[in-house]
Chain A
């Protein structure tokens, strides 16, 4: 009886979670006149007009491509640099380790609002403005510390006897790290990649400041087009629905990995 009440509560919560997203989907399938004309719980004359508009206009669809490029670069950089660092923090005691760890975390707390302008100047100086790599590097400010933090937790769960045995067996550090250690924490790597993707995909302020046309993210395209065309709710909703799609795909692909990752976290 108690189990059923729990399940009911969980189902209710998931339903409420989906409601605002459903409402946007509903709006995206209707024309603007229809939306403002009358209230409806579901689209009576569903139209794909809003989506066709987005897919045929380069100003719209290039935004999606740009976002995906810089998010992917950022995830790769974050993982590549954070893996060895997290290993160092979980296994070794070294000069200034605790301070270093806390300093890394403080970078997640920096107010993005005023960092935006110095960032613009910095990346102008090194001629990286309006490139995907600039946004990817800027997002490292909060993603690398987070990646170190999460990976360190996963690595500390692996007993150090495994490292010692491997070293006694004659493994060098790089070979041990890549062929034995990383496979052991692959669930943690998956979870970390998911978090890096997530925080880079949703960030707007840096991405908008550091780009003008060539690398402009979809979220910035949305804010500008709204002011140019007035409020076309249908088009806005369709663009919003499309920003959910890459995220939903990523979750779908890692879903077993995530579930398994959490299960493996019991070492």
Chain B
């Protein structure tokens, strides 16, 4: 449907623009500033152009961290989105259990991120953790501080545990927006449950699933606190994701120039992929509807 055309609407958007600009544009200018100048102290700086960008792009440890990050985000989307939709489909549509399910599901989302890391240390340590000691009692060696594979499994488990509920809640909201009449019509037509899913439920969930995919991609790509607390990026560099590496450069070695150049590249990658996902999901939805 056609929207009303009026530039007066800008007055309604203005407060948001001002508040976000204050927190976004000013710091972003500082970051751009750092990325093209070598700063020795207050008032002492040399313009270096694209030198920091070249230095960062040639960094082999960055390439490894980037690959690791893509693998991680891809796994996150592949596991969490289908699992979340599946669980949302299994949830009751009404009754007393709805509230109980919602409260249980939302709980992991409201725990501070570093506490998530703490919970999983306590849960997976071979000596005091329930999961760690159970696996070791089964005769399998499991120690996320020593084996890169175990560290990956632990971080993935933590991530799936932490964020799948968000996908479930969003998918469930989408499912609840389907009028009962649709299901009745499908029943009269004798539609299979797969047909109901494919032609009624999935198209209706397109909006919320777009949000779910974008949010999960952005946040998994920026993941920092949870693996930092759990593994510290180790063993070796096995779980050093982009943000962990970035903080190492920026605050550990205090190389602000390369760190700023790095974060601009980082930002552009996320921007590009989010845009692609956004466009792709919009088009997929339209194709399914026609």
- Roughly how many angstroms separate A140 CA and B4 CA in the complex, as a whole number? 29
Interchain Cβ contacts within 8 Å, total number:
264
Q: A23-B130, A148-B16, A248-B110 are in contact. Are A18 and B104 (CB under 8 A)?
A: yes
Contact A111 B263 (CB under 8 A): yes
**Which residues in B have their C-beta under 8 angstroms from that of A262?**
172-173, 176-177
* Residues in A neighbouring B28, C-beta threshold 8 A: 110, 118
Contact A141–B24 (Cβ < 8 Å) = yes
Which B residues are CB-close (under 8 A) to A114? 31, 246, 250, 259-260, 262-263
Contact digits for B92-134, partner A, Cβ 8 Å, 1 yes 0 no: 1000001101111111111111110011101100011110010
The answer to whether A243 touches B262 (Cβ under 8 A) is no
Q: Is the CB of B107 within 8 A of A140?
A: no
Of the candidates A10, A82, A205, the one whose C-beta lies within 8 Å of that of B87 is A10
Tell yes or no: B58 within 8 A of A by CB.
no
Instruction: Pick the interface stretch among B6-14, B139-147, B194-202, B281-289.
Output: B6-14
Binds B, one of A43-51, A178-186, A252-260: A252-260
A interface bracket (residues with beta carbon within 8 Å of B): 35 or more
Q: Are A140 and B23 in contact (CB under 8 A)?
A: yes
B-chain residues with CB within 8 Å of residue A233 when the two chains form the complex: 122, 128
Given that A17-B104, A93-B4, A95-B7 are contacting pairs, would A85 and B270 also be in contact in the complex, using a CB cutoff of 8 Å?
A: no
Contact A201 B112 (CB under 8 A): yes
A204 x B104 contact (CB < 8 A): no
Greatest chain A CB density within 10 A among B110, B211, B250 is at B110
Beta-carbon contact of A23 and B4 below 8 Å: no
Instruction: Contacts A118-B26, A237-B122 given; indicate if A9 touches B90 (C-beta within 8 A).
Output: yes
On whether the beta carbons of B115 and A219 are closer than 8 Å, the reply is: yes
B237 located at the interface, meaning its Cβ lies under 8 Å from any Cβ of chain A in the complex: no
Q: Which one, B15, B133, B221, B267, contacts A81 given CB within 8 A?
A: B15
Residue A166 lies at the interface, judged by CB distance under 8 Å to chain B: no
The reply to whether the CB of A251 lies closer than 8 angstroms to some CB of chain B is yes
Chain B interface residue count, CB cutoff 8 Å, equals: 91
Residues of B within 8 A of A138 (CB): 23
B78 within 8 A of A: no
Contact A6 B102 (CB under 8 A): no
Q: Is the interface of A mostly helix, strand, loop or mixed?
A: helix
Judged by a CB distance under 8 angstroms, whether A52 is at the interface is no
A123 to B10: give the CA distance in the assembly, Å.
Answer: 27
Residues of chain A lying within 8 A (CB to CB) of residue B138: none
Contact between A137 and B19 (Cβ–Cβ < 8 Å)? yes
**Closest chain B CB from A211 CB (angstroms):** 14
The verdict on A218 contacting chain B, using a C-beta distance below 8 Å, is yes
Q: Is B183 an interface residue (CB 8 A)?
A: no
What are the residues of chain B within 8 A of A112 when measuring CB–CB? 222, 224, 243
Assess whether A29 is interfacial by the CB under 8 Å rule. Answer: no
A108 to chain B, nearest CB (A): 6
- Which residues 189-205 of A sit at the B interface, judged by CB distance below 8 A? 191, 194, 197-198, 201-205
Interface residues of B (CB under 8 A from A): 1, 3-10, 12-13, 15-17, 19-20, 22-24, 26-28, 30-31, 87, 89-92, 98-99, 101-115, 118-120, 122-123, 127-130, 133, 161, 165, 172-173, 176-179, 207, 211, 214-215, 218, 221-222, 224-225, 229, 242-243, 246-247, 250-251, 256, 259-260, 262-263, 266-267, 270-271, 274-275
Q: List 20 A-B contacts (CB under 8 A).
A: A9-B87, A18-B104, A20-B123, A27-B128, A80-B15, A91-B3, A94-B9, A97-B9, A110-B24, A110-B28, A114-B246, A114-B262, A148-B16, A202-B112, A236-B118, A243-B112, A244-B107, A251-B106, A266-B178, A266-B179
